[in-house]
A and B are shown apart, each in its own frame.
Chain A
Amino acid sequence: MAADWILWPILTFPVLSAGLCLTLHSPQRILGAVAFLGFLWALLLGAVAVTVMYLGTLSAARHWLTLDMLSSYHLLIFGMVFGASSLYARHYFSFEIAHDEFNLEDGRKFGALWFGSGTAMVSVLLCNNLGLMWVGIEATTLLTAFLVCAHVTPLSLEAMWKYLVVCSVGVAFAFIGTLLVAASALELGLAAEDTLLWTVLDGSAERLSPGPMKLAFVFLLVGYGTKAGLAPMHSWLPDAHSQAPTPVSAILSGFMLNAALYCIMRYLPLVEGATGHLGWGRALVTLLGMISMVLAAAFILFQHDGKRLLAYSSVEHMGIIALGLGLGGIGTFAGLWHAMNHSICKILAFFSIGSLGQLYGTHDLGKMAGAMRRSPLWGLGFFVSVLILIGSAPFAIFMSELQILRAAIHQEAWVVLAIFLAAAALVFIGALKLAIAAAWGEEVVVPRTQSSSIIDVLLVIGALGLLLLLGLWLPTPLHGMMESAAQIIGGRP
């Protein structure tokens, strides 16, 4: 197709940007470049996603790079998360420059790794070869590891170490799974170059050997599930999210987890096809989803640290998306929709808690009491985003959760329904109590003050507006895109 060439610039642009960041001579300039180029790249990605929305699948390099509805939908989410986080990074680190906590070396390291990890995430989406997809996921771990300890403290080192080891070893399991998938395709007699191409495997999913494929899926689920933060493999997540600088937390939570879930989505049609569409693979995904929801709810109840609260909320929401995928049918659609809603809302929540944390010098919610009076913009951002995250109507997260509930009722999965409602209720109570205290409680600490720029206001208003809009009205092209993406996961009938 004529537009296929466009796949190359979206990969080379961030690499060049990373290189540029290394040549600049002041941290302010690097932050400016990150904001400008990051936003520009996000626009480009959005344009590509829209192209796919209207023209259909793009592919280049003999199908090794492919962008279909499922990957371009995730590309759209990534664009929003990355663009907004790049703009926010400027605000966040400017504060640190003003307090002498961010020098030129930090800036160069940040800029290069920031664009580098973005490239890795996008390459996960673009690679049609399942082996290279794995390479991309592992690369995101490696490139973000040093972003987590951008400021070297004992705590951030501890977090980085756990992140690096747990995710590397976890993702190694996914590679064993990938090899087993290749083994399950041996009987097809494919050429070596085609063995791991997703499009080829998907086309003959019914003829893959079910035994190795089942074993493969267990390994893949453990491996990519670790990276996606699904419980009980989530141990690295709260530490890494709470210790990373806020823009990094936002991108970890807002997209990196989704990238790993995306890999699981790619394998669902393969395992379902090989095992005769009996829901074997989906049942496993549902199970992990339920465990994640329950475990996250238990930890949220006893949380004091704002960023850890949001981290556990990510575990919960990854669980919800997994539940949607596991239920299948309309649940798949709802899970995809939920992924977008969660990402938009979670980055806003992180931006807000990050800025409040800078003003108060701590992320302890108890010490932030009265934040709404001191910093109306970020106080509002935090309070409302928590309200949305716990599922308040009529915002988008409430709507997508409702669809997942509908899927559960439709499938008569009463246990799933009961656990979903119980966990969601616990999270609602636990998080609301904390958020109200933080927003309106008796003041304990007098924070520093800082005026907000027009970009800050736009970020908060834009995210809230988008969440409200998506809750009330889903544009038809986007709806169509999500439906086609859900069809890809559900396997072609």
Chain B
Amino acid sequence: MNHPSLIEAVLVTVVLTNLQLLGSSRLKICIHMVGLQGIVAGLLPVLLDHEANPLRAWLLVVGSVAIKGIVFPKLLLRVLRDAGVCREVEPFVGYILSLLAAVSALMFSLWMGSTLVLPQAPVGTTLMAPVGFTTILVGLLVIITRRKAISQVIGYVVVENGIYIFGVALVGGVPMLVELGVLMDAFVAVFLMGIAVYKISREFDHIDVDRLNRMQG
């Protein structure tokens, strides 16, 4: 089955979650947005028709929706509770400016998608690679401009989502074993980062990464 309109609905949702993520100071909302993004992005493989092996696609969907849509948000919410923060206070770049940056990133990605001759897997829409790339850029923006350690974990998950979409657009997915390995790595990475945030909050009484600067030179 191929559903270009469904695929485009998914992509629009991804873009909207990106914007909401950047414009919100409440970390809880950010985490929910990342979860939603993970779920809709995870659905992509079954919406494509060039999939030779439907079983494989469904396995992937179940795996990535479970991990990115359910496990990650639960884990992050728990870390948030343990660390006792609820807001991103004074990010290095303000919310309005971040939103503008995200929109520019989207325009840049669309322009790049139209000029750069990337061999496209037949996915029925030309929007997928640009949206994936925008999501990667938004994730990087979150990592760089936010102060709380947990925001960096959120940014990392957004980058992962972006790469996932980008990968589906570019090659229509890589071998199953690789896909599973990547998923497992992402899971462990987020898990470890969660533990690290927890330890940092215990040791330092804060999770502000700009104050983790004792070692220099």
Contact = CB atoms under 8 A, between A and B. Distances in A.
Interface string B26-39: 00000000000000
A161 B136 contact: no
Interface string A209-243: 10110010000000000000000000000110011
B143 A165 contact: yes
B124 interface: no
B171 A182 contact: yes
Interface in A122-140: 129, 131-132, 134-135, 138-139
Is chain B's binding surface mostly helix, strand, loop or mixed? helix
Contacts of B214: 154-155, 158
Nearest to B179: A131
A195 B175 contact: yes
B159 A186 contact: no
Contacts of A299: 217
A157 B185 contact: no
Contacts of B159: 169, 172
Interface in B125-170: 136, 140, 143, 149, 152, 156, 159-160, 163, 166-167, 170
Interface residues of A, number: 53
B215 to A, nearest CB: 5
Contacts of A138: 185, 189
A187 B171 CA distance: 11
A309 B205 CA distance: 31
Interface stretch (A5-13, A100-108, A173-181, A443-451): A173-181
B119 A129 contact: no
Contact of A183 (B136, B156, B170, B182): B170
B175 A129 contact: yes
A243 B177 CA distance: 35
A70 interface: no
Contacts of B173: 192
A242 B216 CA distance: 12
B189 A195 contact: no
Interface residues of B, number: 43
A161 B116 CA distance: 36
A303 B217 CA distance: 8
Contact of B178 (A180, A184, A196): A196
Contacts of B152: 165
Is chain A's binding surface mostly helix, strand, loop or mixed? helix
A141 B193 CA distance: 12
Contacts of B203: 152-154, 157
B171 A161 contact: no
B204 A211 contact: no
Contacts of A64: 177
Contact of A157 (B52, B118, B192, B196): B196
A164 interface: yes
A135 B166 contact: no
A146 B200 contact: no
B140 A182 contact: no
Nearest to A138: B185
B193 A164 contact: yes
A302 B217 contact: yes
A160 interface: yes
B3 interface: no
Nearest to A154: B203
B170 A182 contact: yes
Contact of B118 (A155, A158, A175, A183): A183
Interface in B52-99: 52
A192 B116 contact: no
Contacts of A134: 182
Contacts of A152: 199, 203
Interface string B184-205: 1100110011001001100110
A460 B31 CA distance: 52
A175 B215 contact: no
Contact of B171 (A132, A162, A183, A302): A183
B174 interface: yes
A142 interface: yes
B192 A139 contact: no
B9 interface: no
Given A161-B149, A303-B217, A192 B212 contact: no
Contact of B212 (A149, A161, A183, A238): A161
B192 A145 contact: yes
A72 interface: no
29 contacts: A129-B175, A129-B177, A129-B178, A131-B182, A134-B182, A135-B185, A138-B189, A145-B196, A154-B203, A154-B204, A157-B199, A158-B213, A159-B215, A161-B209, A162-B212, A168-B189, A172-B160, A175-B182, A179-B167, A179-B171, A180-B118, A186-B171, A192-B52, A192-B173, A196-B178, A211-B116, A215-B116, A238-B215, A242-B215
Interface of B: 52, 116-119, 121, 136, 140, 143, 149, 152, 156, 159-160, 163, 166-167, 170-171, 173-175, 177-178, 181-182, 184-185, 188-189, 192-193, 196, 199-200, 203-204, 209, 212-215, 217
Interface of A: 64, 129, 131-132, 134-135, 138-139, 141-142, 145-146, 149, 152-155, 157-162, 164-165, 168-169, 172, 175-176, 179-180, 182-184, 186-187, 192-193, 195-196, 209, 211-212, 215, 238-239, 242-243, 299, 302-303, 308
